[in-house]
Amino acid sequence: MATPPPEAQASGRAGLPTPNSTHSYWHRDPSKTLLNHHTTEEVPTTADIVVIGSGISGTFAARELVAGGRSVVMLEAREACWGATGRNGGHCQPTVWDSVEEIARFELATFNLIKDLVAEHDVPCDWRVVGGVHAIYSQEVLDAAKTQIKRLQKYPDLKDKAVLITNKDELAAQHIPDALGAIYQPNAAKLWPYKLVAWLLERLLSQHDAAVFNLQTNTPVTRLERRGAFWVAHTPRGEVQAREVLLAANGYTSYLLPGLTDIIVPVRGQISALQPPRGAIQLPHSYVWTDASDQYLIHRGLDDTQVEPDIGDRSLILGGERFAVPEGEEGISADDTINPTISDALHRGLSHAIKLLPGDEPEKETLDAAYEWTGIMGYSRDGHPFVGRVPGAILAESGAEDAAEGLWISAAFTGHGMPVAPRCGIAVAEMILGKQGGVKVPAAWIPSEERISRARSMELPRTLEDMLNSLPSEE
């Protein structure tokens, strides 16, 4: 039975990716191989598996599926890696201090997977392990951080992965002199995410013929249909039939699965590439603000990619501030514009948080931006990714409850995809392949009818109190 296209979007339901997106900083040097790529002139009519989405989760999944002997057709609505992975803040930082041990270990393993992959193949994606600083500006968060650091001491493999800093001189040395404290996590990197995914896709294309891996960009899937034992992905360029379909569309999931409307919520994030003031120091770490502003920062360095010969790029990549506007950009699935109120907040966002200039020089109140862009994240109501087989109940409104066989999902990374999504992609690929003993995702991430029912009554976190309530208990 068909899943109808949403001509009129219900509240919270995603639309198709917009054709004219804002220009991401990370897309300024796109892969010539991948731009408008069609592995074959015509869309293949059949495949073992269709992967919808070419971001980091879908790409790692496709890599695993091809290695497992399956033929894959990857369908992408826009250019390759033009969604959240190509529009994020350039971070890869596992959350250790504020995660339960199972999730902390999963994310640390993902971090190591990427680090080892980049090292083994010398992937040109500007990967730098810089350590991450979580600046604390309220007593409530500081008290909670002390409790969480104490909790971590119970786990020998985690207790050195997060350190609490409260000494004022050390906070000043970390360029956050006005903070009450900070958590330092050594396992944090900055990178050019698009280039990592582009390298993986180029390698898949160069190592396999079109019968094994076929990438079709600018080919949106407009609906899914169950036809006998097969799924059919309908596109404006033709239809593809496969026994298995993997939805790796993250914030756009509910366009094709309306039963997940308001379970996986599209949320628009906004990022600016700010120009540092003349004479600015090079920040040694990445930064996160542990308050309701939801800000995150990396500082590009002269040792990173050269924009032009002998001209380095030292942009301050700052994202967040979505709560500067009502509703926090929730329910928005169009990334073709920026919000001027959030833009203003980002331009001013560093003046009272990070020390950019040496000595006693006054900080600039406002910084100019060379790039400003938006991207669509997929937030889950319960805060966890969805990784595994789609429950049949999700298709109930189309009368196809028994048709979920062969329909899979890896999505809903809630603005935290880089240290999560790659191994989620691998894990769901292993499920499809029937592989045992591979990547195991936390039990809370597996889709189920019961989980979805519980999530419908949950609210997305919006306040500092919400953040504090989400922290693991001491037990």
- Taking only the tens place, the pLDDT of each residue in 145-181 is 999 999 999 999 999 999 999 999 999 999 999 999 9
Mean pLDDT of the chain: 93
> Are residues 368 and 294 part of one domain?
yes
Domain that holds residue 333: 128-190+266-380
pLDDT at residue 1 greater than cutoff 70: no
- Tens digit of pLDDT for each residue in 222-233? 999 999 999 999
Instruction: Report residue 4's pLDDT band, with 50, 70 and 90 as the boundaries.
Output: very low
Q: Cα separation of 233 and 229, whole Å?
A: 13
At 6 the pLDDT is 38
Task: Tokens for 110, please give them.
Answer: 């993902």
pLDDT at residue 295, as a whole number: 92
Tell me how far apart the alpha carbons of residues 168 and 279 are, in angstroms, rounded to a whole number: 24
- Write down which residue in 356, 380, 404 finishes a domain: 380
Residue 167: inside a domain: yes
Give the per-residue pLDDT at 432.
98
Residues 62 and 180 in one domain: no
Residue 182: pLDDT over 80:
yes
Across the range 286-294, mean pLDDT stands at 84
pLDDT of residue 217: 98
Domain boundary among 330, 354, 380: 380
Check residue 306 and give its pLDDT.
58
**How high is the pLDDT of residue 387?**
98
Q: Tell me the average pLDDT across 188-192.
A: 98
pLDDT tier for residue 106 given thresholds of 50, 70 and 90:
very high
Burial call 223-239: b when 16+ CB within 10 Å, e when fewer: bbbbeeeebbbbbeeeb
For residue 302, the model assigns a pLDDT of 83
Q: Report angle CA 409, 413, 414 to the nearest 5 degrees.
A: 135
Q: How does DSSP assign 270-309, residue by residue? A: EEEEEPPPTTPPPP-SEEEE-STT--EEEE--TTS--SBT
Taking residues 295-324, what's their average pLDDT?
84
> Residue 291: pLDDT band by 50, 70, 90 thresholds?
confident
pLDDT on residue 11? 56
pLDDT value of residue 311: 57
For residue 379, name the pLDDT band (cuts at 50, 70, 90). Answer: very high
Taking only the tens place, the pLDDT of each residue in 324-360 is: 999 999 999 999 999 999 999 999 999 888 999 987 7
Averaged pLDDT, 424-428: 98
- Tell me the mean pLDDT in the region 430-449: 96
Residue 8 lies in a domain: no
Cβ-based neighbours of 218, under 8 Å, separated by 6 or more: 36, 76, 77, 78, 79
Answer yes or no: is pLDDT of 310 > 60: no
From CA 213, how far away is CA 72, in angstroms rounded? 5
Evaluate if residue 461 carries a pLDDT over 90: no
Domain count, the chain: 2
Which amino acid is it at 189?
Answer: A
Q: 269 pairs with which residues across the strands? A: 375
- Regarding whether 359 and 342 lie in a shared domain, the answer is yes
| CA pair distance 348, 367, nearest whole angstrom | 7
Residues 275 and 346 placed together within one structural domain of the fold? yes
List, for residues 259-286, the tens digit of each pLDDT value.
999 999 999 999 999 999 999 999 999 9
Residue 8 has a pLDDT of 31
List of E strands, 71-159: 72-75, 91-92, 128-129, 132-136
Backbone Cα Rg of the chain = 22
| More confident position, 2 or 184 | 184
The mean pLDDT of 421-442, rounded to a whole number, is 97
Of 389 and 393, more confident: 389
411 lies in the same domain as 276: no
pLDDT at 47 over 80: yes
* 8-state DSSP, 395: G
Residue 98 is assigned to a structural domain of this protein: no
CATH of the domain at 149: 3.30.9.10
Which tops the pLDDT comparison, 464 or 96?
96
Q: Is residue 179 part of a domain?
A: yes
More confident residue, 184 or 308: 184
Report the share of the chain in percent with pLDDT over 90: 85
Q: Are residues 68 and 213 in the same domain?
A: yes
Query: Within this chain, do residues 133 and 160 fall inside the same structural domain, yes or no?
Result: yes
203-248 pLDDT tens trace: 999 999 999 999 999 999 999 999 999 999 999 999 999 999 999 9
Beta strands 49-52 and 244-247, pairing class: parallel
Beta bridge partners of 388: 409
In a domain, 2, yes or no: no
Domain limit, last residue, from 380, 404, 432: 380
- What pLDDT shows up at residue 141? 95
